[in-house]
Amino acid sequence: MFAFRESVPLDPAALDAGRVEVAFTDSSLDLREGDRLAGVLDALREEAGVPFARLHQVHGDVVVTVDGPPGEVPTADAQVTALRGVGLMVRVADCVPVVLADPAAGVLGVAHAGRRGVQVDVVTRTVERMRELGARDVRAWIGPHVCGRCYEVPATLRDEVVAAVPETYAETSWGTPALDLGAGVAAQLAAAGVPASVVPGCTLEDATFPSYRRDGESAGRFAGLVWLR
């Protein structure tokens, strides 16, 4: 179910403190929209002990605040919360899933950073919204995504993105223009004063994760998750 999971105490000095849980799922759970999604969400809820709020993601920079139990699915590419008893989910199949938390403040966030999301800096918008909720010491986890050695794009598109985020410049392993979205996200987080851990894995190269570039329309979706336990 989980390719990665990390537990961070809300207060390292308190033995009975709650914990922030961060996880990335793998191909064993298919989180794309469809008839089976409800059952998969139920399995996640049973495993984590909380329901997860999800998004209708459209490659933008809109950030929504979750202030109640999951209900209608909003159109946005990031969400934040300071609410106990609900988790946040971001779903991907090559784009960069970014999970954020301020364990001391109990403020959580997730962002979907594809090519367009990196270009419009959805990650910084998410950090800003978390700070509006009281976050002061945000840290991030950059999840598995298609790497710069594999994410081939036309030269004109690379130039467009690099003009906004120079750190995304890359070449494929076969010498053609590419984008390194993970490097772009890392640079944006650093500029926002947010330390980041990188969870390794190229979705195109590693069948542990779904990949739209590898599998096309049949590709599933995996998720970055964060919740308070």
Q: How far apart are CA 186 and CA 3, in angstroms?
A: 21
At residue 26, the pLDDT reads 97
pLDDT at 205: 98
The predicted pLDDT at position 213 comes to 96
pLDDT at position 10, please?
A: 83
Tell me, what's the pLDDT at 15? 55
In order of their start, the domains of the chain are 19-228 (3.60.140.10)
pTM of the model: 0.96
Q: What are phi and psi of 188, to 5 degrees?
A: -65, -40
pLDDT value, residue 13: 66
Task: Give the per-residue pLDDT at 214.
Answer: 97
For position 18, what pLDDT does the model report? 79
- Asked if 144 and 27 count as a contact pair (C-beta separation under 8 A), the reply is no
- The reported pLDDT for the residue numbered 201 is 97
CB-based contact 156:212 (threshold 8 Å): no
Instruction: Report the sign of the C-alpha dihedral through residues 43, 45, 51, 52, in that order.
Output: negative
Q: Which residue ranges of the chain lie beneath pLDDT 50? A: none
User: b/e string for 52-75 if b means 16 or more Cβ within 10 A?
Assistant: bbbbebebbbbbbbbeeebeeeee
> Given the DSSP bridges, would you call strands 96-102 and 169-171 parallel, antiparallel or unpaired?
unpaired
Report how far residue 117's alpha carbon sits from residue 145's, in angstroms, rounded to the nearest whole number: 14
Residues 6+ apart with CB under 8 A from 217: none
CA angle, corner 154, sides to 152 and 160, nearest 5? 110
Q: CA distances (Å), 51 to each of 24, 38, 47, 69, in order?
A: 16, 11, 10, 8
pLDDT score for 229: 83
Q: Can you give the pLDDT at residue 130? A: 98
Give the C-alpha separation, 134 to 111, whole Å.
18
CA distance to 22, 25, 86, per residue, from 3 (Å): 11, 5, 21
pLDDT at 40: 95
Q: How many other C-beta atoms are found inside a 10 Å radius of the C-beta of residue 167?
A: 18
